[in-house]
Amino acid sequence: MTDAPPTAADSGRWIRFALVMLPIGTILLGIASFGIWQYKKDQAADRSFKYALALRRPISLDGIQRHADVLREALSKPDRDLSIPGYLESTMGAENMGYTVRRMRFGNDQSNIDAELTGKTRPREIVMALALYDGDPLRFVRTSNAIAELLSIAHEVTGESVARGLRFAVIPNTAEALQHLQEGMRHDGEHLMHLFVLGAPDVNTMARINGVETKVQGTRVVTRPATASPQETLQSAHELKTLLLHAAERP
């Protein structure tokens, strides 16, 4: 007895089955692929977090003094526009603090330096700690202390989880440097929510800083008082760290 040949009804059932099951299979495959990607992404983030935690160092008087001494000497030399960005890149980089450091070069060997904790939920809302430097010998102490304070805070909070981006920036005290800072944020579609300016810059510098425009009006600009000693800088660093993490909305 021979098998009956497939009928048109059988063929139709197989076609309908394929039409139903193939899209479902494609959807399930897509879900599985996304799950694998998310798992690997979470694993990578967890490794980065653990690595950053291993590099974390508490704010300390010795650390502030060490940074301030190096920076004060660098400020007094003609090549400060090269040596200070170089020191910042090395100090804040992946091997020391765990940050990805950005260096924006412009003009005659000048650079803007920044590093950040990326916001988890609102990464384009930026909270910034900003220090500026120049060749004014009357400001060497307060400037070196301001940058040392910024570095010490960055070292203690590396690996922290924040909702907004928390950025640490050091730039030359020039209109051109501020312009590049502003243009970079515009290009990236970022909104500057809070700006903490270290070292109590002079009136003219603060006027330029207050002129920095963002897509969100009403950026809160806070001028931090200058510090004259490592001990004062230590106290200021603890205070500023609390303000920064609150503004960046640490969970």
Positive or negative CA dihedral for 202, 205, 208, 209? Answer: negative
Domain residue ranges in the chain: 9-55, 58-247
Provide the H-helix boundaries in the chain: 8-55, 61-75, 80-92, 140-157, 175-187, 203-210, 230-247
Residue with tokens 């977090």: 49
pLDDT tier for residue 51 given thresholds of 50, 70 and 90: low
Three-state SS at 119? coil
Query: Rounded CA gap, 148 and 151, in Å?
Result: 5
Amino acid identity of 95? Answer: E
Residue 226 has a pLDDT of 97
Residue 210 has a pLDDT of 85
pLDDT tier for residue 157 given thresholds of 50, 70 and 90: very high
Q: Tell me the pLDDT tens digit for each residue of 187-225.
A: 999 999 999 999 999 999 998 888 776 545 678 999 999
pTM of the model: 0.80
pLDDT tier for residue 47 given thresholds of 50, 70 and 90: very low
Phi, psi of 225, rounded to the nearest 5 degrees: -65, 150
Residue 45 has a pLDDT of 45
- As a whole number, the mean pLDDT across the chain is 87
Q: Tell me the pLDDT tens digit for each residue of 111-134.
A: 999 999 999 999 999 999 999 999
Domain 58-247 belongs to what topology? Aminopeptidase (3.40.630)
Residue 108 has a pLDDT of 85
